[in-house]
Copies of this chain bind each other. A is one copy, B any other.
Amino acid sequence: MRVGVLTGGGDCPGLNAAIRGIVRKGVEVHGFDFVGVRDGWRGALEGAVVPLDVPAVRGILPRGGTILGSSRTNPLASEDGVGRVRETLAEHEVDALIAIGGEDTLGVAAALGGEGIRVVGVPKTIDNDVAGTDYTFGFDTAVNIATEAIDRLHTTAESHTRTLVVEVMGRHAGWIALHSGIAGGANAILIPEQPFDIDQVCAWVENRFKIRYAPIVVVAEGAVPKQGQMVVKDSSLDAFGHVRLSGIGEWLAHEIAAHTGKEARTTVLGHIQRGGTPSAFDRWLATRFGLRAIDTVKDQDFGMMVALRGTDIVRIPLTEATVGTKAVDPSLYSEFGVFFG
């Protein structure tokens, strides 16, 4: 059997570990051979396919990124996308496809599965917002990086009397903000699932100044204030005449400084959260996902995705994973209320 492997969406620590697990077990235990599909669904659309064997995956376990490249191309949005993917698979005699990706990539996989293409999914996203799995790989690494950054900011905040706002990734879900904020000892954590009250945030910050312990506010990029609290002006050109929208972190720092009369600064962590060597947990999870994904192909259990439940790797229908974003539950969020303010 010949198996194709692709990685779609934003890159994520652990992708290479998953590819390695798939190929090592596929070749050495099941006797399969492999091709790599370049740059996610783009390669499947355009016939960009590369050799993939055991020597190709030597030494990639600790490396971030993906040796196969990635893109956000959606074949369903292309004319006859499904037909073209089918052609690529036929031309390279690919019997089954393993798609490693987040909600979008897996959604495409589910749709192609519905069209009879033999596909198995592996969930990944640093945001941890794929439904059906306790965790996705990449998340633990991102949380460690964000926590280390917050640790660093503590010493600055305490040396100067200053609020520090840290904007972390999470457009739709606040997992990174919540985990890193709790791990980093933030005194306010703002997530997309729950619109925040800027007056409450400022009160928490003031409170922290009273005990001479500097305030750190962790905010997910997708968090928003309560209705009416943010007024966006017409002008969205920056000093160079480029159109731009300031992030929520900058807005917060501005508001907090205005309310408290004390300096406030923003740090936007950005892409450093998604790069570099994966944490031990992510390498472990990605490796296990890879091993189980190729077993799923072996069992011809197509249309399924591997998922973590407790300490077990299970299989669930791809359609279950793509019903919507896994959000932070309000009850989990409120558990940590004692640390705010």
* Cβ distance A138 to chain B, nearest Cβ, rounded Å: 12
CA–CA, A185 and B75, complex, Å? 35
- Of B65, B158, B280, which is within 8 A of A156 by CB? B65
Would you call A275 and B156 a contact (CB within 8 A)? yes
In the complex, which residues of chain B have a beta carbon less than 8 angstroms from the beta carbon of A250? Answer: 238, 240, 242, 244
A11 is an interface residue with CB less than 8 A from chain B: yes
Taken together as a complex, chains A and B put the C-alpha atoms of A64 and B148 apart, in Å, by 13
Pair A240/B244 contact, Cβ less than 8 Å? no
Instruction: Pick the contact of A11: B135, B160, B213 (CB < 8 A).
Output: B160
A136 at the interface (CB under 8 A from B): no
- Known A144-B279, A238-B238, A291-B335; contact A159-B271, beta-carbon cutoff 8 A: no
Which of B63, B236, B339 sits near A238, CB closer than 8 Å?
Answer: B236
CA distance A325 to B13 in the complex (A): 33
A29, B338: Cβ atoms closer than 8 Å = yes
Complex CA–CA separation, A13 to B276 (angstroms): 18
Q: In the docked arrangement, what's the CA distance between A153 and B11, Å?
A: 11
Contacts of A64 in B (CB 8 A): 152, 154-156
Residues A180 and B267 in contact, CB atoms below 8 Å apart: no
Residue of B nearest to A63 (CB): B155
Residues of B within 8 A of A260 (CB): none
- The answer to whether B238 and A246 touch across the interface, beta carbons within 8 angstroms, is yes
Q: Across the interface, which residues of B come within 8 angstroms of A338, CB to CB?
A: 24-25, 28-29, 291
Q: How many residues of A contact B (CB 8 A)?
A: 94
Contacts of A58 in B (CB 8 A): 211, 213
Per-residue contact bits, chain A 235-266, to B (CB 8 Å; 1 contact, 0 not): 11111111011100011001000000000011
The docked-state distance in angstroms from the alpha carbon of A147 to that of B272 is 11
User: Which residue of chain B lies nearest to A251 when distances are taken between CB atoms in the complex?
Assistant: B240
Which residue, of A152, A161, A268, has the highest number of chain B Cβ atoms within 10 A?
A152
CB neighbours (8 Å) of A7 from chain B are 159
Asked if A69 lies at the interface with its beta carbon under 8 angstroms from chain B, I say yes
Q: In the complex, which residues of chain B have a beta carbon less than 8 angstroms from the beta carbon of A156?
A: 11, 64-65, 271, 274-275
| Residues of chain B lying within 8 A (CB to CB) of residue A211 | 58
Segment at the B interface, from A94-102, A105-113, A116-124, A281-289? A281-289
CA distance A116 to B143 in the complex (A): 42
B183, B236, B240, B284: the one contacting A283 at CB < 8 Å is B183
> Are the C-beta atoms of B267 and A270 separated by less than 8 Å?
yes
Residue of B nearest to A275 (CB): B152
Which one, B159, B180, B236, contacts A280 given CB within 8 A?
Answer: B180
Query: Among the listed stretches A43-51, A195-203, A226-234, which one makes contact with chain B, having 4 or more residues with CB under 8 Å of it?
Result: A226-234
Across the interface, A239 reaches (CB within 8 A) one of B135, B246, B281, namely B246
Could you show 12 A-B contacts with beta carbons less than 8 Å apart? A59-B213, A69-B159, A155-B276, A179-B280, A179-B284, A231-B240, A231-B241, A232-B240, A233-B239, A266-B270, A269-B272, A288-B335
What residues make up the interface of A, taking CB atoms closer than 8 Å to B? Answer: 7, 10-11, 13, 15, 24-25, 28-29, 58-59, 61-66, 69-71, 134-135, 140, 143-149, 151-156, 158-161, 164, 179-180, 182-185, 211, 213, 230-233, 235-242, 244-246, 250-251, 254, 265-272, 274-277, 279-281, 283-284, 287-288, 291, 309-311, 335-336, 338-339
